[in-house]
Amino acid sequence: MDSHNFLTQRQGQADETRLYLIEDDPLILHFVSQTLLQRPSWRLLGHSASLAHACEHALASSANVFLVDLCLPDGRGEEVLALLSRKKPEAELLVFTVFGEESRLVGALAAGATGYVLKGCTAEQLVLAIEQIREGGAPISPLLARMLLKQFRTVPEAPSALKANAVSLSDRESEVLKLLARGYVNKEIASKLAIGPSTVSTHVKNLYRKLAAHTRVQAVMIAQEHGLL
Amino acid sequence: MTPPRWLTNVVLGIPPYGWAVVWLSLMLLGLAMVTRVSNVPGTQAVTQAQVMLAGQAWNTAETVQLPHVWDHAKRQWDAEAHYLLALPEAFKDRARADGQELGLLLPRVGVRFRVMFNGVEVAAQAWDRGAGYTDAGIHAHFIVLRPSMMAPEWADNRLEIQLKGQALRISGLSPVWVGPRGALWQRYQWLNWWQVNLTWMVAASAFMLGLLSLLIWTKSAERLFGLLAGSLLVLAVRLWLSTPVFLPGPFLAWDYLHKLSFTLYCGFTYLFMSELFHFSQSFVRKLVVLMMRLGPFWLGMLAWTQNYQLYRLWTGVIVVVCVLSLLMVIHRARWGMDVQQRLMVVVGLATMVTGLRDFLVVQMGFPGDVDIRWMTPGSLVMMFAMGSVLLQRTALSMENVGRQNAELARQVGERERDMHAVFERLRRVENQRVLEAERRRLTRDMHDGLGSQLVQTLNLVRSSGTNMDSAQVAAMLNHALEELRMTLDSLEPMEGDLPTILGTLRQRIGPALQAAQIDLDWQVEEVPTVPSLEARGVIHLFRCLQEVFANVVKHAHASRVTVRTWSADGRVHLAVTDNGIGLGGSPDLAFSSGGRGTSNIRLRAVEMDAEVVFSAAWPGTCVAFSFAASTAPCPAVLASTTRSDSLHGLNRAS
C-alpha cells in the first residue's frame, strides 16, 4: 500500500460514520438498524444492552458516534458518557431519550454528551440528527438553553479558587443562548445576529463542551480542596 | 490530724442562729471586759461644779453633781451656762514639776463650748453661733494644762467650762477627768476610737450594704431588699450626722434630718422584720406606716416651734412602736420560726442587750464605762445580720430562678419538640396535598389530552380492520406522544418565564404549522416573570395556545401567524395573531360567539389569573393574554430588553 492510498484510506475512515448503540430496548436496536439502511455507508459497529457491557466493549470499538440511553438496567447512562468523553474525546455522544427531560439532560451534557435525539423520531429525523452532529451542530430546546445559561451563571458565585479555571461564555455564545431560550430557531438566530446557521450550531456544541469542561474543573478543584487528589 | 467524728457532727449540726448565740455571747463578754471600769489609773474625775447662767454673779451659782443637764428644767436655747470646777489637790505638786503637764479630758459636753483656764481660753468648739451644723458633744475633748498657765497658788486656779445652748439639743457637762497628760491622752484615743472611728465604720458599712440592697431591689423588685435598703441608707445618714463633721447651712435643717433619719430607720427596720416574719396587715404595721408618714410633718413642726416636749412625745411614740414590734415577734415565735427568723431574733435580742446596758450604766449608774456605748457595735452586728439574711435570700432567689429557668427550658424544649412534630405532620400533610393536587391535575390532563388521543387511535385501529391506514395511526400516535411530552414539559422548572414557556411550546406546534404551510413569525422578547405561570399555569397556557393554533390550522385559512410578547404598565402581554378569515368568517370557527374553544380558553385564563381578549385583526384574529407581572426583576439569566409597547403595539403588529 503506497502512502497516498494509505492517507486516502485514513481520510475516508475519519469521514466514515461508525455507530455504537448502548440501549437495552431491542425495538430501538431494530429501529436503528433499519435507519442505517438509508445510509449504506454508515456502519453499526456494536451494541450494548447494559452498563457493564458498554464499559468493556464500547470503549474497545472504533465508533465515532455513540447513541446512549440514560436508563440502563445496571446503571446510569451518565457513567458511560463520562467514561467515553474521557477516553474518546473526539467521538460524538448522542443521548437517546424519550421525552427530552431537560433537567436530566443538563447532567448528561455535563458528563460529556454532545447532543440528544428523541425516541419516537422518524428514521429521517435520526439520520438528520446524526448528520447534524457530525457536521458540528447540536440540538437544543429553549428550556435547555435557559438551564445552560443558569448553569454558567453560577460560575461567578463559585469560590475564588474556581474562578481562575472556570469556563465562561463568550458574548456571542451568550447571545445565542438567550435567543434560543426565547424559542428562536437557528435560522432566526442567524438572521438576527447576521451569522450563518451552522455557526449557531457550532456555538451550541461549544457550549456543551464548555459545560462538561466547566463541571470537570469544578470537580477537580473540589477534590483537591478536600485532599482527595 | 483529723478531728473526732463526733466533734465534726456536733459542729456541723449547729444551726446558724446557734452560732450567732455563741459569737454574740463572746462579743458581749468581750465588751464587758473592756468596758468594765471607766477609771484611768493616776487620774481623778471632777464630779462637782458650780453652775450659773451667763451675766449672773458667781455668788448666785448653784453647786451641782456631774453629769449635769443645765437646761433640764427650762429650755433656754439662747442662753449660756458657766461651770466652775476646782482642780484636785492631788495634782498640786505634779503640775509645777517640769515635764509633768496635766491633761483635761471632757468625755461629753454640750454642742458649743469653750474652756477658760485662769482667764485664758484653752479650748473651744463651735463657740460662735455661725451658720453650720456641728456637734461638739458627740466625741471627747482633750486639753493640756501647761505649768506656765498655773496660778502661783493652787487654790487660785480657775477652770471654767462655758456652754452655749442650741435649739432642740440638750446641753450639760459630764464628769471632767484631770490627770497626767500621757495617761489621759491614751484614754482620749480609746474614746475617740469608740465614739468616732467606730461610728464612721458603721456608717460606711451601712451605706455600702444599703447600696447593695438598693441595687438588688431594682433588679429583683423584691420588697424585702427595698426595705433593707431604706433602713440601711437612713442609718448611714444618721451616723454620718453623728460624726464630728461641719456642714454648711442652718443647724435646724440638719438636725431635722438627723431626727427624721432615726424615725425612718426605726420604721424601715420594723417593716423589714415584718416582711421577714410575714406580719401581713397587722395593727403595728399600720401604726409604723402611719408613723413614717407623720414623722416628717411632726418633726417639721418641732423645728418650727422649737418645743422640746414635742420631741419627747415623738420619742415615746417610737419607743411604743418598738415595744409593740418586739411583742409581735415574741407572739409570732409561738408558731415556730425558720432559720432566718431565729437568727434575726437572736441578733435583735443581743442588740437590745447592748441598748439596755447603755441605759443602765449611763442613766442608772450601774458599774461600767459610761463613756463607751455598746449600741454602736450592737448596731454593726445587727446590720451584718440583716446583710446575712439579705445574702441568704438572694442566694435562695437565684436558686429559685435557676430552677424555674431549668423548668422553663425543659417545658420550652418539650413544646419545641411538639411543635416540630406538628410541623413535620403538617409538612407531610401539605406534601400529600400537593402531591394529590398534582396527581389530579396530571390525571385530568392526561384524560383530556393523551387519553382522548389514544382512544381515538384505538377506535381507528378497531374500525379499520385489515384496511388500517398505518400512516394515519402513526400520526395519531405521534400526536399522543406530543401530548405526553407537553404534559411533561409543564413539569419542568420554567419559573414563570414566559419566553421559555413559549419556546418550549413552539417545539411541539412548529411541525404542525410547517405541515400546514403556515409561516410562524416569532417576536418573543424578554419580559418580567409571571408568578401565576407555575406548573399548573403552564399547562393551562399550553392548552390555551394549543386551542388557538389548532383553530389557526384548521379553520382560519391563514398563511401566517405572529407570536409576540411585551410588557407595559406592570403587566406582561402575549398576542397570537393570524391573517386568516377572522371572527365570524366561518360558521364552524371555534372563536365565534359561544364557541366551546372560546369558553375553554376563558376558563383556563381565569385559572392562570390572566385576562384574555379576542379581537379582529383585519384581516384575521388576535387572541391577547395579559398577566400580572412579578415585582421582582427579570430573570437574571436573560437580558433585560423590555419594551414599553402598549396595547396599541398589538394592533400595529396585527
* Model ipTM value: 0.72
The C-alpha atoms of residue B325 and residue B316 are separated, in whole angstroms, by 14
Express as a percent the part of chain B with pLDDT over 90: 22
Interface test with A, best of B521, B541, B637 (most A CBs within 10 A): B637
Average pLDDT over residues B438-466: 77
User: B241-245, B247-251, B408-412, B625-629 — which one is most confidently predicted on average?
Assistant: B408-412
Which of the pair, B232 or A136, is modelled with greater confidence? B232
How high is the pLDDT of residue B95?
64
Residue A15: pLDDT over 90: no
How high is the pLDDT of residue B72?
56
The C-alpha atoms of residue B133 and residue B87 are separated, in whole angstroms, by 32
Which of the pair, B271 or B276, is modelled with greater confidence? B271
Chain Cα centroid distance, residue B330:
37
B640 touches A: beta carbon within 8 Å: no
Predicted model pTM: 0.50
Query: What does residue A97 show for φ and ψ, rounded to 5 degrees?
Result: -135, 150
Average pLDDT, chain B: 83
How high is the pLDDT of residue B386?
81
How high is the pLDDT of residue B188?
92
Which of the pair, B2 or B30, is modelled with greater confidence? B30
Cβ–Cβ below 8 Å for A143 and B502: no
Residue of A nearest to B504 (CA): A142
Sorting pLDDT into bands at 50, 70 and 90, what band is A158? very low
CA distance A8 to chain B (A): 41
Query: What does residue B142 show for φ and ψ, rounded to 5 degrees?
Result: -120, 130
Residue A224: pLDDT over 70: no
Chain Cα centroid distance, residue B372:
45
Residue of B nearest to A188 (CA): B522
Residue of A nearest to B509 (CA): A183
Q: Which residues of A touch B489 (CB under 8 A)?
A: 143
In chain B, which among 483-502 make CB contacts under 8 A with chain A?
484-485, 488-489, 492-494, 497, 499-500, 502
B511 touches A: beta carbon within 8 Å: no
Express as a percent the part of chain B with pLDDT over 70: 91
Residue A7: pLDDT over 50: no
Cβ proximity of B346 and B15 under 8 Å: no
Average pLDDT over residues B276-303: 85
B442 touches A: beta carbon within 8 Å: no
Residue B9: pLDDT over 60: yes
Cβ–Cβ below 8 Å for A182 and B478: no
How high is the pLDDT of residue A116?
83
Task: Find all residues with CB under 8 Å of B357, minimum gap 6, and list them.
Answer: B31, B366, B368, B374
Q: Which three cell numbers stand for residue B35?
A: 468596758
Task: Find all residues with CB under 8 Å of B612, minimum gap 6, and list them.
Answer: B544, B601, B602, B605, B623, B624, B625, B626
The C-alpha atoms of residue B121 and residue B109 are separated, in whole angstroms, by 16
The region of weakest confidence among A53-57, A132-136, B47-51, B353-357 is A132-136
How high is the pLDDT of residue B414?
95
The C-alpha atoms of residue B620 and residue B612 are separated, in whole angstroms, by 17
B507 touches A: beta carbon within 8 Å: yes
Which of A69, A141, A121 minimizes the C-alpha distance to B481? A121
How high is the pLDDT of residue B591?
58
**Closest CB from B481, B494, B499 relative to A182:** B499
